[in-house]
Amino acid sequence: MKHGKSFVLSLLGASVLAGATGVRADFGDPLPGLTAEQQATFVEGKEVFEDVEDAADGLGPVFNEASCATCHIDGGVGGGSSRVETRFGTVTNGAFDPLAAEGGSLMQDHAIGLANGVTFVPEIVPGDATIIAGRRTTPLFGLGLVDAVPDRTFKDLARREAFFNRRTAGRVSNVTNIATGLPAVGKFGWKAQVPSLFVFAGDAYLNEMGITNPLFPDESCPQGDCTLLAANPRPDLNDDGDDVELFADFMTFLAPPPAPRRSRSVSYGAALFAGIGCADCHTPALQTGRSDVPALNRKTFFPYSDFLLHDMGSLGDGIAQGDAGQREMRTAPLWGLSKVTNFLHDGRTTSVEEAILAHDGQGAKAARRFQTLRADQQQRLVAFLKSL
């Protein structure tokens, strides 16, 4: 497959964002072009994101970590990490069962210990779980841009994919935005189960840290046993919504990964990436819609993802969540891959090559094409990915 110079540059992620301001943001920096007030909001949000909570703040009774930044740290605050959480479930009458009565599907692996005569302990995978899946912490860099893409863009993208190659086409994750009560497109999370960064912040505050908030006011029952909550040291609403707002502001204003350095070898690798079909799902470029924030208004950016659900066959994690079935996963964005050390949803490999070859279902054909490349071509394609 032949590609013109402009196509290769789009795959390389020419920094349209930086080009508008002359500023090249690094990992963990705020978006270029923010106002002084927006930069101050970013800093305040980052500070709250780094705060370490305790039981007096509402942490727990069961939780995964005491600070957002504990997991989101690789490459800078807001990055991903090799931290892998556990989800579990089973199949009952042919349908996925999250075993909610036993604490599923997310397992909280920390607890606050003794409180009001009850010793809260970390959750475990129950014996009747037949599905156990790992979920790696994903980076947050640039997600404000993704949040600013209109829902219709993702719907149009799904239609275009279906028109050109139905066998690999993704589909929109249709969810309800609990902040508005309206239908929305899911874009965030391994299953594209979350429609906005605001909802993402509230969801994580409860499910990862056990801190209730206006969006998610109900405490998680430890191992599904709600009677234990009688000893919860903070039965009130733990956050009035201010922290959730600040988390969302921080993520909204967090810059995307810097554009890769161009070279002849990387350019060739980018062309190979498209040629074997990787770009069919890992869409190089998207554009935001209209925004009151100039730094987010009609910006072209390069996430290398269509943010759609795809049937990944054996690479699916077995968990049904939101609109996604057990075999479906959201296309993982590839920008920032240079700061990732463990790959795929469960972090099973430390090798980009192994991650490519593990693709199954709608990604299997691209994986087979990668295998047919010469060794030097494989190396250049991988070099391109590692430059992102």
Mean pLDDT by 10 residues, the chain (388 residues): 46 48 78 98 98 98 98 96 97 97 98 98 98 97 98 98 96 98 98 98 98 98 98 98 98 95 90 97 98 98 98 98 98 96 96 98 98 98 96
Q: How far apart are the C-alpha atoms of 4 and 225, rounded to whole Å?
A: 60
Q: How far apart are the C-alpha atoms of 141 and 73, rounded to whole Å?
A: 11
- Give residue 3's pLDDT: 45
**CA-closest candidate to residue 74, choices 273, 337, 332:** 337
Domains of the chain, by residue range, sit at 5-386
229: exposed, middle or buried (Cβ count in 10 Å: 0-12, 13-18, 19+): middle
Q: Quick check: 284 and 13 in contact, CB under 8 A? A: yes
- Give residue 222's pLDDT: 98
Q: How far apart are the C-alpha atoms of 210 and 227, rounded to whole Å?
A: 16
- Give residue 261's pLDDT: 81
Q: Quick check: 296 and 145 in contact, CB under 8 A? A: yes
pTM of this structure: 0.94
- Give residue 205's pLDDT: 98
Write the DSSP assignment of 226-275 as a string of letters: GGGGGG-S--S-S--SHHHHHHHHHHHTBPPPPPPPP-HHHHHHHHHHHH
- Give residue 11's pLDDT: 59
Q: Quick check: 107 and 125 in contact, CB under 8 A? A: yes
Dihedral angle sign, alpha carbons of residues 106, 242, 70, 342:
positive
